[in-house]
Structure 1
Amino acid sequence: YLKVIHYQDDNRFVHLRLGFLYYDLKNIAKATEHFQKAYDQGANNHQIIYYLGLLYGMQEDYKKAVELFEEIPIDNSPIATELIPSLASAYYQLGKEGKVKALLKKAVELYPNEEKIWEVRGSFYANQKDYEKGLEVIEEGLQYFPHNSNLQLHESILLDKLGRTDEALEKIQNLLKREPNNASALNFWGYTYLERGEQINQATEALEKAYQLDPESAYIIDSLGWAYFKQGKTQEALKLMLKANQDAPEEPIIQEHLAEIYLALGQLENAKEYFKKAYTNIKKIKKPSYRDKVDQARIKQRYLETKKL
């Protein structure tokens, strides 16, 4: 193909083929270059425009991604339901929350039977810390898809954020009856009981199972490490928590857990360092939920206590 393109630089089909090949090789810059040439030469069907927009998004050129995505009508394209989450994400990266709201509102009106759109809309409001609205959207989506596990998980998380933990646990238990190998649901169930100080052994078993199912999740690693700490397995807990912190270095709850483990091991300076990091990061939450406020108060107290030591 490289030999052909040397003589036929105006052959958009060869540019497209090279674009796909470079993408497979994870050379995003070269893939973008060839897709752009194909687009400039008239390869402008919706799928190609969408791919090109995705490539610019991968390089964090969200303005260019939006320009391309907006060429595709969301009410009259076979790829509309693929496009909408990507366009919403690009708007969000550009700080255009109003555009995201309008897009997703129109999207659920156009495609109420598309599960992914309900998930994206609910997640958007959750990210905005508007948990009430997020829950409202998720529950509306569940009217269309009562057995969608992602929507059910989001519902439980939002209920917990709003302080309605008993309801959240009831719903997650119903999900686990149907999907006993759902790693995220196992993590939510296990960690919630750890925080309550109840059913520690059963919670640990659930978290070990979640870890086996998804060993790369920083949040599952954190939960299991915290369970081991609660059981007195401090060295095992430290090993897991260091991995979780490496994978999610700005997460205040992981930093708090790491600080508590260091404190238990008598490593006071490390404990102080991580309590300070946890307190600094959790203060950044602009619209704290009920759960966030509980976490903020606890971390502040522990930070101030250890600061005096």
Structure 2
Amino acid sequence: MSLTGFTPLETIKRQQKDLMSLTGFTWVILAVIFIVLAVKGDVSALDKKASLPLTHYIMALFYSNSGELDKAVKEYEESLRLDDEAALVHLDFALALIKKNEISRAKDELNYSIKFDPEAIEPHAVLALLNLAQGKPSAAFREYVAALKNASKLNPNNPEVHFYLGALYSELKNNVISEEELKKAIVLKPDYAEALNFLGYTYVENNKRLKEAEDLIKRALKVDPANGAYIDSLGWLYYKQGRLKQAKETLKKAVSLMPDAVIFEHLGDVNFKMKDVGNARFNWQESLKLNPNQDDLKKKIEALKNK
């Protein structure tokens, strides 16, 4: 799990636009309207040339939203055949390709999106997260940090730029700059839940400024009270503070909302600290089921054999 609560690829897949909340029927109606207007030539305020690629784009979003990814790909391709300089279409096409695990092709589309809209934030951030998800070394996405730094110069008042920079610098183990960027994001947007939780959890992980961390995490929870990742952050804070009973109850709530390897491990750590070896073993084993690539956790479970 990332500090935001999800793995990098999950984070990408959750970054869908408000349009995606429309019902399937609404999508079809929108597409039909554009098609009819284009065929009749009655486009009035709409540009006829633009309406056809837009129609294919709308249908691509519809198919992507409904899980019909092969059909979505065909619509994206047709939209871009008619207008290959549409940066947003390249970006959304990349997100659909990521869902299909066509990562190399997705990267190509993201680079096209950047080419046609150099000031955009999302393509750089998604590229960085893809490199991270693929296990590339930190040097592989330093260039994307630089790209986001450029974006922050072009648009210094955009909190998302600073949030993404903070997240990436955290992955580069540069907590000083990471914290600076996250603070900038929060100043620009005081109710920015992701940034509040990220900074709070960073403090908890580094066992510093725990009182400030508690304030930050609780502010995030005011915005999104049912977020399992944020509740996990609070439970882990209680553990660091030695408030084990509160930690256990909070982490049990978190894992019920979001069964995640990190949260199960946290709950296991709390139970172990409370000398509840049986439940600690169970929690750690559940964590290992969700993410088998945890050598340190395997050692903890192995050490329980003598207890």
**TM tier, shorter chain?**
0.7 to 0.9
Q: Give yes or no for the alignment of 1:210 onto 2:216.
A: no
Q: Residue type matched to 1:92 in 2?
A: I
Once residues 130 and 170 of structure 2 are traced to their aligned partners in structure 1, the CA distance between those partners, rounded to angstroms, is 17
Once residues 307 and 74 of structure 1 are traced to their aligned partners in structure 2, the CA distance between those partners, rounded to angstroms, is 62
Report the Cα offset of residue 297 of structure 1: 5.0
Q: Residue type matched to 1:127 in 2?
A: A
For normalisation by structure 2, the TM-score amounts to 0.75
Contact 2:201 2:213 (C-alpha < 8 Å) held by counterparts: yes
Residue 65 of structure 1, aligned match among 72, 80, 88? 72
Once residues 197 and 214 of structure 1 are traced to their aligned partners in structure 2, the CA distance between those partners, rounded to angstroms, is 24
Residue 125 of structure 1, aligned match among 124, 131, 142? 131
Larger Cα Rg: Structure 1 or Structure 2? 1
Which structure is richer in relative contact order (CA contacts within 8 A, separation 6 or more)?
Answer: 2
Once residues 156 and 166 of structure 1 are traced to their aligned partners in structure 2, the CA distance between those partners, rounded to angstroms, is 9
Q: Give yes or no for the alignment of 1:303 onto 2:278.
A: no
Once residues 95 and 144 of structure 1 are traced to their aligned partners in structure 2, the CA distance between those partners, rounded to angstroms, is 28
Task: Please state whether the residue corresponding to 1:71 is helix, strand or coil.
Answer: helix
Going from structure 1 to structure 2, the CA distance change for 1:106 and 1:305 (only over 3 Å counts) comes to: same
Once residues 75 and 171 of structure 1 are traced to their aligned partners in structure 2, the CA distance between those partners, rounded to angstroms, is 40
Going from structure 1 to structure 2, the CA distance change for 1:165 and 1:75 (only over 3 Å counts) comes to: farther
Residue 119 of structure 2, aligned match among 95, 102, 113? 113
Residue 263 of structure 2, aligned match among 241, 250, 254? 254
Query: Which residue of 2 is the match for residue 188 of structure 1?
Result: 198
Task: Please state whether the residue corresponding to 1:145 is helix, strand or coil.
Answer: helix
1:168-219 per-residue CA deviation (whole Å, 9 max, x = no partner) reads 2233334444444332222222212212222222211221122112323322
1:132-177 per-residue CA deviation (whole Å, 9 max, x = no partner) reads 3333213213213333332322222222223323332233334444
Task: Please state whether the residue corresponding to 1:232 is helix, strand or coil.
Answer: coil
Residue 54 of structure 2, aligned match among 47, 55, 59? 47
Once residues 96 and 234 of structure 1 are traced to their aligned partners in structure 2, the CA distance between those partners, rounded to angstroms, is 44
Residue 255 of structure 2, aligned match among 245, 261, 285? 245
Task: Please state whether the residue corresponding to 2:75 is helix, strand or coil.
Answer: helix
Q: Residue type matched to 2:59 in 1?
A: L
Once residues 152 and 71 of structure 1 are traced to their aligned partners in structure 2, the CA distance between those partners, rounded to angstroms, is 35
Residue 104 of structure 1, aligned match among 110, 115, 131? 110
Contact 1:66 1:90 (C-alpha < 8 Å) held by counterparts: yes
Contact 2:182 2:199 (C-alpha < 8 Å) held by counterparts: yes
Once residues 302 and 152 of structure 2 are traced to their aligned partners in structure 1, the CA distance between those partners, rounded to angstroms, is 46
Task: Structure 2: give runs of 5+ residues left out of the alignment.
Answer: 1-20, 40-50
Once residues 291 and 170 of structure 2 are traced to their aligned partners in structure 1, the CA distance between those partners, rounded to angstroms, is 18
Going from structure 1 to structure 2, the CA distance change for 1:152 and 1:308 (only over 3 Å counts) comes to: farther
Q: Residue type matched to 1:66 in 2?
A: V
1:97-144 per-residue CA deviation (whole Å, 9 max, x = no partner) reads 111111111221121122333333333333333343333213213213
Query: Which residue of 2 is the match for residue 160 of structure 1?
Result: 170
Going from structure 1 to structure 2, the CA distance change for 1:48 and 1:164 (only over 3 Å counts) comes to: same
Q: Residue type matched to 2:164 in 1?
A: H
Contact 2:167 2:178 (C-alpha < 8 Å) held by counterparts: yes
Report the Cα offset of residue 274 of structure 1: 1.5
- Alpha carbon RMSD of aligned pairs, Å? 3.1
Contact 2:73 2:93 (C-alpha < 8 Å) held by counterparts: yes
Report the Cα offset of residue 54 of structure 1: 1.8
Contact 2:145 2:165 (C-alpha < 8 Å) held by counterparts: yes
Residue 182 of structure 2, aligned match among 149, 169, 172? 172
Q: Residue type matched to 1:184 in 2?
A: E
Report the Cα offset of residue 74 of structure 1: 7.3
Task: Please state whether the residue corresponding to 1:300 is helix, strand or coil.
Answer: helix
Report the Cα offset of residue 225 of structure 1: 1.4
Task: Please state whether the residue corresponding to 1:112 is helix, strand or coil.
Answer: coil
Query: Which residue of 1 is the match for residue 235 of structure 2?
Result: 225
Once residues 86 and 243 of structure 1 are traced to their aligned partners in structure 2, the CA distance between those partners, rounded to angstroms, is 34
